[in-house]
Structure 1
Amino acid sequence: MKMWKRNLIVCWFGMFVTSIGMSQIAPILPLYIKHLGVQNTALVEQFSGIAFGANFIMLAIFSPIWGHLADKVGRKPMLLRSSFGMSIIIFSMGFVNNVYQLISLRLLQGVVAGYSTACTTLIATQADKEHAGWALGTLSTASIGGSLLGPMIGGYIEENFGLQNVFFITGTLLIIAFITTVLFVKESFVKEDRKVLSAKEVWNLIPDSTLLITMFITSFILTLALYSIEPIVTVYVTQLSRNSSHVALVAGMAFSASGLASIIAAPRLGKLSDKVGPQKIMLIALLVAGVIFIPQAFVKNPWQLMGLRFLLGLATAGLTPSVNILIKKITPSSLTGRIFGFSMSAQYLGIFGGSILGGQVAACFGIRYVFFITSSLLLINAAWVYFSVFKKLPSTNKNLIL
């Protein structure tokens, strides 16, 4: 087996476990904060928002830093640093005595994280050019799958084993990811002796900085769109449902439907992008996703919403691999880690921004406007991609060398 294929398997497992760990904690934060002694409902909501957002803000800040270090010392050391650091920090969350200690550890978790960035960089630099789309598409299913299963796993552990065990089990899973990385990930990294480049010097080395900016903004808009429904999905399902006894379960299914579809479609769309060009997949995916958001505002029952969310997942599955392929193609190999770090920062800001946007728009204008605004953002992004990427790049992937 080729080295990059074995690394893909290990990285997929590590990203899957890391994603489960991050996503299964978020739904239980309000319960844990209440367990720590905060009884006022308004304060519980306030602290939950701070604890949730703190992690992603720090991730956005530190992802480029760890990406830069990955270019200097190698990607495997960053995988080991991240998995081991997060395992210790998340395990420690089970021992906190107050909400301030919890928030501090969430901040620290965001500082040391970066497993996904290092994995993406490692596979992007190692995979054969003709298989890059398939490899990155397959890798993206790990994050999607973990996010899909995480909330359900966290809820099951909390209900059957207690709140604190969610953190202990997550920490243990991350230690397993650390051990598998130590044993099985192989990297032939050659350190280059070069001066530390400033941000301006790095930017000047990029053949097409305008295209890179478009990729960052597309990453931001995509995650913002996917997470804009997270704060309101339970409320929306409650409005649509005639039987309120299973609202939480149905809401979870509705939110997870897009993730399930992405797991199915991402490797296939990644492979297709290797043949027809990632710019074509990206444009079509943005257009289809923008259109599919609109009827979600007019559904009559949760099952219609679930079906549309599934179709949305089929469309958005092609976006992240396409963005990563184009970033790889326009970035010098010595800067790949740093540039992918910036791309991950854009995604983390999109997660944070989407959560804020969905709640605020729903509160001010109504739930349906969340779908209208998100659709508009995706369609505007599609128009921008058409003029700045699709019209600019060669029509065949074979000639796409910038």
Structure 2
Amino acid sequence: MEDWKKNLYILTASVFIVMSGMTMIIPFLPLYLQELGVTGHREVTIWAGLITGINFFSAFLVSPLWGRLADKHGRRLMVLRSGFGMAIVMVLMGFATGPWSLFFFRLLNGTISGFNPASIALVSTNTPKQHVGYALGILQAGSVAGTISGPLFGGLMAEVFGFRTIFNITGLFVAIAAVTVLLFVKEDFTRPETEEKTSTWQDFKKVAAIQPIPFIFVLVFIIQFSLIGLNPMVSLLVDELSGGTNSAFFAGLAVSVMGFANMTASPKLGKLTDRKGAQYVLFGSLIGAAVFSIPQAFVTELWQLIVMRFLVGLCLGGLLPAANTLIRKLSPNGMESRTYGFSNSFLFLGSMFGSMAGGLIASAVGIRGLFLIAALLQVIGVFIIYYRVIPKLREKRGCSSG
């Protein structure tokens, strides 16, 4: 088997394990906070939001730094740093003595996290360019599968082992994934002979000067904000449509069916990206996401919502892999990981602001209005691709052929 394929399959399995572990705590986080002494519904809700959000915020801040180190020392090293670091922090979370200590460990986790983004950078830079779309689609499928499975595993295991033990188990599995990468993943990396002393801001200006990279960063933010960050609000509409009967189950189903569709479509749309061009897959997928987001504001039956979520999930499978493929092709030589680092910062911002703004928007315009605003953002993204991304790429192709 070719090295790039072996790396891809091992990293996909490792990403599945890590993403499962990272999402295991979602079902019982409020309950764990109560065990740590937080009382009252309002206090638990506030602490849960803070502890969830601080992870994204710290990851947003340090992502460019890890990208810089990856370009200097190799992407595989960043995967290992993140894997072993998160394994230790996950175990420490099981020894939290109160909400502040758990808050600190989540802050630390976000600071050293980045297993999935580092794996994307490693796969994209060590895969032949004609197969990058397919490879990133497979990796995306592994990530989404882990995100779907994690809450299910976490909920079941918490019932059997208790909350604190879950953190130890999760840390162990993340460590196993890191050891697997250490033993079996190889990277074709040549350290730069000359090291240019630049600041993060100088690096960003150099990357952003390459068109249409800044617009792709904006698209990543829009995708994450409108399709991922707003996910927690779906449970409110599920509760309304189900009449309060089995709301938790159906809310989980509505999120899971979107993830399952994403996982199924990612490899196929990745192959299409390699054949037709990432910009066209990105364009078509975002149109589809907008079209299927609008009816969610008008559904009257639960099954209608679930069908629409499934169709949106199919479109989502082509969005981030296509965006990452474009970033790989456009990033300056020797700055691939830094470019991904900046892109990941926009992604984490989308997750953070989507989670924070979802509640505010829903309180102002209602949960159904939330879907219309999400669709509006996606339509804006469609115009950005049509008027900014595709023309710029055509200009580049014309210049290179000329």
Q: 1:153-232 residue pairs with structure 2 within 5 A?
A: 153-192=153-192, 193-199=194-200, 201-203=202-204, 205-206=206-207, 209-232=210-233
Q: Could you tell me how far apart the structure 2 residues matched to 1:234 and 1:394 are? A: 42
Q: Could you tell me how far apart the structure 1 residues matched to 2:311 and 2:110 are? A: 32
- The alignment status of 1:134 with 2:134, answered yes or no, reads yes
Q: Could you tell me how far apart the structure 2 residues matched to 1:397 and 1:278 are? A: 14
- Relative to the length of structure 2, the TM-score reads 0.95
RMSD: 2.0
Q: Could you tell me how far apart the structure 1 residues matched to 2:167 and 2:81 are? A: 19
Q: 1:349-360 residue pairs with structure 2 within 5 A?
A: 349-360=349-360
Structure 2 match to 1:307: 307
- The alignment status of 1:239 with 2:240, answered yes or no, reads yes
User: Would you say the 8 A contact 2:70–2:77 is kept in 1?
Assistant: yes
Where 1:294 maps in the other structure, the secondary structure is: helix
Q: Which runs of 5+ in 2 are unaligned?
A: none
Shift of 1:303: 1.3
Q: Could you tell me how far apart the structure 1 residues matched to 2:229 and 2:8 are? A: 30
Structure 1 match to 2:58: 58
Q: Could you tell me how far apart the structure 2 residues matched to 1:377 and 1:65 are? A: 29
1:184-206 residue CA offsets vs partner (Å, 9 max, x unmatched)? 01113211122222345435654
1:322-369 residue CA offsets vs partner (Å, 9 max, x unmatched)? 111111111123101111011111111111111112211111221111
Where 2:232 maps in the other structure, the secondary structure is: coil
Q: Could you tell me how far apart the structure 2 residues matched to 1:36 and 1:204 are? A: 45
Shift of 1:209: 2.8
Q: Could you tell me how far apart the structure 1 residues matched to 2:355 and 2:225 are? A: 8
Where 2:271 maps in the other structure, the secondary structure is: helix
Q: Quick one: which amino acid aligns to residue 222 of structure 2?
A: I
User: Would you say the 8 A contact 1:57–1:110 is kept in 2?
Assistant: yes
Q: Which runs of 5+ in 1 are unaligned?
A: none
- The alignment status of 1:266 with 2:233, answered yes or no, reads no
Q: Could you tell me how far apart the structure 1 residues matched to 2:395 and 2:250 are? A: 43
Gap change, CA 1:399 and 1:118, over 3 Å in 2: farther
Q: Could you tell me how far apart the structure 2 residues matched to 1:186 and 1:68 are? A: 20
Gap change, CA 1:42 and 1:384, over 3 Å in 2: same
Moved more, 8-17 or 261-270: 8-17
Q: Quick one: which amino acid aligns to residue 39 of structure 1?
A: T
Moved more, 390-399 or 169-178: 390-399
User: Would you say the 8 A contact 2:59–2:345 is kept in 1?
Assistant: yes
Q: Quick one: which amino acid aligns to residue 212 of structure 1?
A: I
- The alignment status of 1:75 with 2:72, answered yes or no, reads no
Number of equivalent positions? 401
Q: 1:87-126 residue pairs with structure 2 within 5 A?
A: 87-126=87-126
Q: Could you tell me how far apart the structure 2 residues matched to 1:205 and 1:63 are? A: 17
Structure 2 match to 1:297: 297
1:245-273 residue CA offsets vs partner (Å, 9 max, x unmatched)? 42111110101111100111011101001
User: Would you say the 8 A contact 2:229–2:352 is kept in 1?
Assistant: no
1:253-296 residue CA offsets vs partner (Å, 9 max, x unmatched)? 10111110011101110100111111111111111111111100
Where 1:333 maps in the other structure, the secondary structure is: coil
